[in-house]
A and B are shown apart, each in its own frame.
Chain A
Amino acid sequence: MVTFYRRLPKMGYVKPGSLEEALELLEKNPNGRYRVYAGGTDVIPKLKGRVIQSPEILVDLKGVSDLDHIDFDEQKGLYIGALATVRSVETSPVIKERYPILSQAAGSIASIQVRNRGTITGNICNAVPSADSAPALLCLDARVLLYSKNGGERTVDITDFFKGPGLTVLQPNEILREINISASPENSRSVYIKLSPRSRMDLAVVGVGVLLTKTNGTFRNVRIGLGAVAPTPIRALKAEAMLEGSEVNDDLIINAARTASEESRPIDDHRASAEYRKMMVEVLVKRAIHQCL
Chain B
Amino acid sequence: MAMKKIKFVLNGETCEWEVKPWRTLLEMLREDFQLTGTKEGCGEGECGSCTVIMGGKTVNSCLVPAVEADGQEILTIEGLAHGENLHPVQEAFVEKAGMQCGFCTPGMIMSAKALLDENPEPSENEIREGIAGNFCRCTGYTKIFESIQAAAEAMKGGK
Contacts and interface: CB of A to CB of B under 8 A. Distances in A.
In the complex, is A directly touching B at CB under 8 Å? yes
B48 interface: yes
A56 to B, nearest CB: 9
Given A11-B1, A11-B22, A111 B63 contact: no
Contact of A116 (B22, B46, B59): B59
Interface string A31-55: 0000000001100110011000000
A150 B57 CA distance: 36
A153 to B, nearest CB: 28
Interface residues of A, number: 29
Contact of B22 (A9, A112, A113, A117): A9
A40 B44 contact: no
Contacts of B105: none
Interface in A76-133: 87, 110-114, 116-117
Contacts of B122: none
B30 to A, nearest CB: 12
Interface in A243-278: none
B18 interface: no
Interface in B1-18: 1-2, 4
A111 B132 contact: yes
B90 interface: no
A12 B60 CA distance: 21
B65 A58 contact: yes
A169 interface: no
B44 A49 contact: yes
B149 interface: no
A8 B22 CA distance: 6
A48 B59 contact: no
* Contact count band on B: 20 to 34
B133 A201 contact: yes
Contact of A48 (B43, B57, B114, B134): B43
Given A6-B43, A49-B44, A200-B133, A12 B58 contact: no
B147 interface: no
A62 interface: yes
Most chain A CB inside 10 Å of its own CB: which residue of B59, B65, B130: B65
A116 B58 contact: yes
A220 to B, nearest CB: 34
Contact of A45 (B1, B44, B51): B44
B133 A113 contact: yes
A114 B42 CA distance: 14
Contact of A113 (B27, B58, B65): B58
11 contacts: A10-B22, A13-B4, A40-B64, A44-B65, A45-B44, A45-B63, A111-B48, A111-B134, A113-B58, A116-B58, A117-B60
